Structure formats: structure tokens, C-alpha cells
Structure 1
């Protein structure tokens, strides 16, 4: 009997010289290449998606403190899979087998029904539609409440972008010029949980609390990341006339890529991969569209409560501009 790949069946999308691989397990992005350039810091087919690489995060993104939350008069306890920090992390769908339906060489639909279970007694149907075209990759992520009562839902995605894929000889995040069109960022505690109760502390990006450099988190105008360590959730995103907010990674003398998101995604997490092992540290940058921040099941920030039969979702995408 042949061994089964940890990420399951693979759906390959092709358009021109671009190629994307979507996995059965978690319906995540495993690979994105344009010519010989690796857009993503992905993983091989015989490996698991370490550190959330390319995974879909639902029915909540990021973390829930202590895995506990109250909803509609009841309190629930989720399993703690981020044990050291005592958090429930990145939802319940990323290790499940999704159904992949590919009708054309450049598009695939992934679908999965999350059944009611201990800690999350709600039933939600998810779809993830990926389309590869001349302007890059577009993904539409949708949640539908197929249960009998209201349900709390948040969505997120977790792509890591390879610094070397930007060209120009860059190898680490320090050499990347970043643009994030955000007016505020969330302050967090040592467990990476947003602080505050109104519903969270949002601080202007052009100022900083004690111990930080004023302006160090402000990337509304493109500037180098340098030595700055980012595991930062941005909000109050500025949208262009087409309704999209755009974050840009670029390398002087190299190329650029844009991560865009529509108005469903009110938050954007940027992570410079400083906690990865020595061989991977700061060699990729995660740019993560989120509909709500960490601990939204408790703070309510950005959280959607779906009525029975109600749907919610949004589109985001990756547009490389490689020479």
C-alpha cells in the first residue's frame, strides 16, 4: 500500500507560467510559483504544514485565551493546542480533509462541514474558492451556518511569503520594504492576546507605548522593515476606490508582490518569522488577512454571529509583479 501524503490529495492550478497547489488537508496553499520564483515559503508534499503555512483558520483565527469563551449564556472550553501559552489556536478545520472539486485547470473549490463538537457546538459549512489568473491568485472564503441556532464565526488565512522569491538577492525580512495601509495596531500581552476591554486596545501606528520607538510600526508609506520584529495585528485599514486594502512586500532592485483583501477582512497580521528555527528565521514574512483578531470570541472585536442559514465571507488575493 502506498503511503498517503500528510497533506492528502493535491489540486494543481496552472495559468501561463504560474502554478498553485491546494491541499486536501485544510484546503490550504502549499505552493505558489511564477516561473522559477517561489512566491510562498511553502512545504513539500511529504511534509505537514508546519507553523500554519498556507492554512485556513476557522471558525476563529489566531488565539482564544485559555480556550474559554461565553456565547448566548453558556460557557465553552476548547482544547489547548498552544500549550505553553495556554491558548486554543487557529480554529478547527486546518487538519481536516476537505472535498476538492476542480472543473478547470486554473480553479478549484474546497468545501468542508464542521460538525458540532465539544467546545464548539455549532455546525458550519465552509467553502474556499481558488482561482489563478493573469493578475495572480484570488481566494473567496465563505462560512454558512447550517445549524439550528446562532453561531460565532471568524475567518483567517496564513500564507508565508518567501523573501528570496522577491529577487534582488534578498534573503531576510530586514531587506524587505513593507507597505501596510493601517492607522492602528492592537497591543498584546505576553500570551499574544490583545489587551483592553473596549473591546481591545488599538494604538496609533505612528506612536508607541513606553519601550517602543515612536513611528516604528507605521508602514503607511513604504519603508524597510530593518531589524523590527513584527507579530503585529493591524486594523483601521485604508481601502482603495475598488474596495480593496493592499499590503505590499518589495525588495530594492528586486520585485514586489501585493496582498489585497476586500472589506470583509478588517484586520491584518504581519509576522516576520522570528520564532522559527535558525535556518528559517526571518526568511519569510506572513501576511494574514483576518476578519477578527485574536480572542475575538471573548472581546467581540470583528466577530460575526451567524443566524441559521446565514453566510459570511470575503475575498483576498496575491498579485506578484515579477520581472
Structure 2
């Protein structure tokens, strides 16, 4: 029987083990010494809650699916119809081509064809590599068309410590955050100073309800720590300027995993233009991040 997530690609290096799937080039699981770092999903199951998704050619939402680019008015299919949004790009429910797989590395490729609402051909690439320092994920897109193309990207990992997120300490080196409207669309960025969204020094998540983008990063490392001092770190390269944090309040069960999503832009960038990447013909955009776990921080 065919797995709805496609081919399952196992990677292993030292204490790390990961599973990558060919549908959506997604990350199904990641563990350290047998302990899950990510809330994944088992073989034979359709990916729930966008877990481990690659978000291309835009992350998060485009309000009404409608935007203007290059003097054209374009409309994307509404994949979140209850809110009237186009959600998480066009590459998630597509079978990617496996370009390479060995014990520690998987490379997947997708030729994204021009289509309604996004008439721009892109050559997409995702690489996963396990090293001594953790799992490195690289997302790349090359404009294969004759005109400029709007673009953004991100990844959607849900971190887990097998306990409520209320008990976790979160540190985000972000100086700004975006309020969100009832449709999950970002309003203009505001300083985190003096708000409930200031996690620069690291503090308990507690009962905070978070589904917001954070920007103005002064450092590239986001850290999540449990009460025993075990930590997971997400280290971004220069290609990512934002992280979107979600406390999983609408999931079943709620608040058992914490999404920390590296993104190149906040939600609705196709309409607002905030940190929107414009890919010129033949141009490639590349962004990477690394997930490391298993360490115990000094207390």
C-alpha cells in the first residue's frame, strides 16, 4: 500500500535520526538518542497540521489569495477557505523528485510549473543533511522564467519535549513582532519591548497564546528549554530574517508542541511587500537553518 507521504527516506548520524518524505519534501521526524525533537507523524498517515512542511513559494498566508505584481492582478486558489486565504505555498501536496539519498543526506527537487495565480516557473530544491552539529536544512529556488517572480520561503517544524508548552522556556532574539488579525494576517511590526511578546532574555511560555511572526533579529539562535535543562536550538543563516511561533492551541491535543518556523518574510508579504524576495530571471535564492538537540544547559 502506498504511503500518502510518498517515499520515506531515513537519515542517521551519531545520536541523530531523521525521516524525510518525498511528498512536499517534508521532514517527518527528527530524534536525538531516541528522544523525539519534533512532533512528527507515522508512516501511512497523511501529514497533519502541516508538520515538517516546506513552504514555497510563500510562507504562511496571502489574504484573499489576491495580490499585484509586475503590473498584473493575480489570484491564488483559497486553500484556507474558512479564512479566505491562500496558505503555505504550492509545494506541499506535490511529489518531489529524489535527486540524492545516502545515510546522512537527502536532496529533493521540484520543477514548479506556471499556474493560476502564480504564473512563474521555479526550480525548487530542498537538502537535508545530518552532521555532528545537528540537522541542516537548505531551501533554494531558481527563477526559470523570463520575468521577475515574487518569492518567499519557510519551514514548519513542531518541537516537542513531551510536556505542555506552558512549561518550556523560549528565547527569541527578536526586537519586533507583528500583531495578527482574526484571519491570521500580519499587521505592521511593533517593538517587543514592554509587551507580552518580548522573549529576548528567555522566559517561560506560560499561558501565552502565540501565533505571531517575530523579526528584527539581533542573533540567529532561537532556544527552547524544558524544566530539566534539555534544549533544542534553531540556528538561522542570513537567508532567514523572521521566525513564526505557534503554541498549537488549535491542535488535538492542544499546546503539546511548539512550532518555531524560520521564514524569509511575515504573513501576507505578497500583498504588503514586507521582505518579499523578487527573483530575477536565472537568479537563485538560498536559505538554511540547523536544528540541534540533546544538550543539557547548565542551571
TM-score for the superposition, normalised by structure 1? 0.90
Equivalent of 1:267 in 242, 248, 252: 242
1:5 aligns with 2:3: yes
Contact 2:36-2:161 at 8 Å conserved across structures? no
Residue of structure 2 in register with 1:246 after alignment? 221
Contact 2:20-2:27 at 8 Å conserved across structures? yes
Equivalent of 2:169 in 177, 183, 208: 177
Contact 2:246-2:260 at 8 Å conserved across structures? yes
* Cα distance in structure 1, aligned partners of 2:263 and 2:169: 22
1:319 aligns with 2:292: yes
* Cα distance in structure 2, aligned partners of 1:103 and 1:118: 33
SS of corresponding position for 1:40: coil
Residue of structure 1 in register with 2:196 after alignment? 216
Q: For each residue in 1:247-277, what CA deviation from the matched residue of structure 2 results, as whole angstroms up to 9, or x when unmatched? A: 0000122400101111111111000000112
Equivalent of 2:20 in 22, 32, 38: 22
Residue of structure 2 in register with 1:110 after alignment? 108
1:10 Cα deviation (Å)?
A: 1.1
Residue of structure 1 in register with 2:260 after alignment? 287
Q: For each residue in 1:68-102, what CA deviation from the matched residue of structure 2 results, as whole angstroms up to 9, or x when unmatched? A: 00111111111111111100000000010111233
Which structure 1 residue ranges, 4+ long, deviate > 4 Å from structure 2?
A: none
Residue of structure 1 in register with 2:38 after alignment? 40
SS of corresponding position for 1:298: helix
CA RMSD of aligned residues (A): 1.0
Residue of structure 2 in register with 1:206 after alignment? 193
Gap runs ≥5 in structure 2: none
Q: For each residue in 1:25-44, what CA deviation from the matched residue of structure 2 results, as whole angstroms up to 9, or x when unmatched? A: 00010011112201110001
1:227 aligns with 2:170: no
1:103 Cα deviation (Å)?
A: 4.4
Equivalent of 2:48 in 50, 75, 78: 50
1:133 aligns with 2:120: no
1:120 aligns with 2:118: yes
* Cα distance in structure 2, aligned partners of 1:105 and 1:193: 40
* Cα distance in structure 2, aligned partners of 1:322 and 1:46: 32
Equivalent of 1:303 in 262, 273, 276: 276
1:104 Cα deviation (Å)?
A: 2.8
Which is further off, 172-181 or 104-113?
Answer: 104-113
Residue of structure 2 in register with 1:66 after alignment? 64
SS of corresponding position for 2:271: helix
* Cα distance in structure 2, aligned partners of 1:194 and 1:36: 37
* Cα distance in structure 2, aligned partners of 1:135 and 1:77: 42
* Cα distance in structure 2, aligned partners of 1:217 and 1:150: 36
Written as runs of structure 1 = structure 2, the 5 A alignment for 1:186-201 is: 186-195=178-187, 201=188
* Cα distance in structure 1, aligned partners of 2:57 and 2:46: 21
* Cα distance in structure 2, aligned partners of 1:270 and 1:191: 16
* Cα distance in structure 2, aligned partners of 1:146 and 1:185: 34
Residue of structure 2 in register with 1:88 after alignment? 86
When the two structures are aligned, how many residues end up with a matched partner? 296
Contact 2:9-2:101 at 8 Å conserved across structures? no
* Cα distance in structure 1, aligned partners of 2:295 and 2:20: 22
